[in-house]
Amino acid sequence: MNGQLRWSGFEFEYKEKTADWFWAVSIIVISIAVIAYIYDNTIFGMFILLAGLTSLSLAKRPPQLFDYELNKEGLLINKKLYPHIDFKTFFVLESKYHAPKLILRTNRLINPIMVITIETDYVDAVAVRDFLLDYIPEEKMEEPLSIRFMEFLGF
């Protein structure tokens, strides 16, 4: 097997958001906050408003381009090394509807699942799987529901 695999890809698939999308999100956020205030849950209402404002501001941000490299030391993402020992398992999820995705279960308590799109213009998904089999156990996994939900909403 080659000593390394490299590819570049955006952190997420960018979807242009219309003014209607921003209005709909704003109305939903304000409605939930008002309901929280009606039920005397002021702190939750403030949290919803803050989360909504944060989401609206992040929705305008274009995705960042990442450089990925798999080598014998681990996974390099924009020059930050994640050693193979940091990963419990991996799975390469292939679908006819979207590009293949590398799903990695990490040892981290916060955000324990990493999902990376494999840009097939640069590297073959089978080559990524074959490379990782030498270092990390494979386990069938699905993309987390939270990530699929955020993609559905256009984030």
Round to whole Å and give the CA distance between 136 and 150: 28
Q: Do 149 and 92 share a structural domain?
A: yes
- Domains identified in the chain, total number: 2
Asked if residue 80 belongs to a domain, the reply is yes
SS3 151: helix
Range of the domain at 34: 19-59
Asked if residue 8 belongs to a domain, the reply is no
The last residue of one of the domains, among 36, 59, 82, is 59
Q: Do 149 and 76 share a structural domain?
A: yes
Round to whole Å and give the CA distance between 36 and 44: 6
pLDDT of the chain, 155 residues: tens digit per residue: 557 899 988 877 777 888 998 999 999 999 999 999 999 999 999 999 999 999 898 888 888 889 999 999 999 999 899 999 999 999 999 888 888 999 999 988 888 999 998 887 778 889 999 999 999 999 999 888 877 787 777 66
Q: What is the CATH number of the domain that holds 83?
A: 2.30.29
Asked if residue 3 belongs to a domain, the reply is no
Secondary structure (DSSP) of 82-125:
EEGGGEEEEEEE--SSS--EEEEEES-SSS-EEEEE--TTTS-H
Asked if residue 40 belongs to a domain, the reply is yes
